[in-house]
């Protein structure tokens, strides 16, 4: 009888332990957060990033017109005359720099270009070079007389290599300038490019917003022979961008036709 009682007591103790353990297990299951599969890294399913924009992509080529005659970026060549051909800028002034002929109309430039030219000449002076304006703005009638003079003396084919027809000249925009050394050495001659003054201009004009408009070996593009004295104001942003990209001509930069054939 005592043995049975002990057995029964032992059995109840075991059953009680099982019940307690089962309760603890249930509590643990209901109060422990379920484990979830590890989240994929943020980049696992993210769309591929677009290629980083290059400096070239960032440059806005449509900021200014290349056809409006009053635009800083207007392109004038044998394929693209000014429209109207009789265009004349309304903000011409004399730059405060040495001029070949004081007070002559062809010494003027548009205001922005004149201001930039003053800075360019100051930079050249600081570097030890003395420059002078040979000619700048040339109106339609002035260009007509100049071109006809070349035709009379050299014939039209030769004239077209050296002088623009009226309405097709960059000088008519008021943004172009022919520069010479103050001592007049190699004035309007290819040898100007070999002078210290010409070399300094070729290397530094872009800093002031000017480009050498008719580089060597670009006659097929621009339609004109090498003119190391002829500089065109396009603004510092475009001049710097062309310098960075190593693109020498407006035609190549903007993918605009040029060449030696008149339209």
Reported as a single tens digit per residue, the pLDDT across 63-122 is: 999 999 999 999 999 999 999 999 999 999 999 999 999 999 999 999 999 999 999 999
pLDDT of residue 160: 87
Q: How confident is the model at residue 58 (pLDDT cuts 50, 70, 90)?
A: confident
Rounded distance between C-alpha atoms, residue 75 and residue 33, angstroms: 72
**21 alpha-carbon distance from chain centroid:** 80
CA dist 263 and 261 (Å) reads: 6
φ, ψ of residue 249 in degrees (nearest 5): -120, 155
Q: What is the mean pLDDT of residues 223-229?
A: 95
Question: pLDDT at position 253, please?
Answer: 98
* CA-angle at 53, arms to 51 and 59, nearest 5°: 155
* pLDDT digit string, tens, across residues 124-142: 999 999 999 999 999 999 9
> In angstroms, how far is the first alpha carbon of the chain from the final one?
130
Among the listed residues 106, 170, 197, 227, the single catalytic one is: 227
Of residues 106 and 40, the one with the higher pLDDT is 106
Dihedral through CA 203, CA 160, CA 137, CA 127, nearest 10? Answer: 20
Q: Are 231 and 242 in contact (CB under 8 A)?
A: no
Q: Which of 184, 256, 247 is nearest to 213 (CA)?
A: 247
Q: What is the structure's pLDDT at 44?
A: 39
User: What pLDDT is recorded for position 52?
Assistant: 52
- On average, the pLDDT of the chain sits at 85
What pLDDT does 228 receive?
98
Residue 23 has pLDDT above 50, yes or no: no
pLDDT at 234 over 50: yes
DSSP type of residue 106: G
Q: How far is CA 62 from the centre of its chain?
A: 11
pLDDT, residue 62, reads 95
What 8-state DSSP symbol labels residue 163?
S
- Band (pLDDT 50/70/90 cuts) for residue 164 is very high
pTM for this prediction: 0.78
Active site annotation includes 141:
no
CB-CB neighbours of 58 under 10 Å: 8
């Amino acid at each position: 009888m005592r043995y049975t009682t002990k057995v029964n007591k032992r059995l109840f103790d075991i059953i009680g332990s099982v019940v307690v353990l089962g309760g603890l297990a249930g509590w643990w299951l209901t109060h422990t957060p379920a484990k979830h599969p590890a989240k994929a890294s943020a980049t696992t399913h993210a769309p591929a990033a677009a290629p980083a924009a290059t400096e070239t992509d960032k440059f806005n080529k449509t900021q200014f017109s290349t056809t409006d005659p009053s635009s800083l970026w207007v392109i004038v060549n044998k394929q693209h005359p000014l429209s109207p051909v009789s265009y004349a800028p309304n903000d011409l002034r004399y730059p405060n720099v040495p001029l070949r002929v004081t007070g002559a109309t062809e010494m003027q430039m548009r205001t922005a270009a004149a201001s930039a030219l003053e800075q360019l000449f100051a930079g050249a002076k600081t570097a030890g070079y003395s420059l002078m304006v040979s000619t700048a703005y040339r109106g339609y009638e002035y260009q007509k007389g100049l071109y006809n003079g070349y035709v009379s003396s050299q014939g039209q084919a030769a004239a077209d290599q050296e002088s623009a027809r009226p309405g097709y000249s960059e000088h008519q925009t008021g943004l172009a300038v022919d520069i010479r050394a103050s001592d007049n050495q190699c004035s309007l001659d290819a040898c100007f490019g070999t002078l210290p003054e010409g070399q300094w201009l070729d290397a530094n004009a872009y800093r002031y917003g000017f480009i050498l408009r008719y580089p060597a070996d670009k006659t097929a593009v621009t339609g004109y022979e090498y003119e190391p004295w002829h500089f065109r104001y396009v603004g510092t942003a475009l001049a710097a961008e062309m310098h960075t990209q190593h693109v020498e001509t407006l035609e190549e930069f903007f993918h605009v036709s040029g060449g030696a054939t008149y339209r």
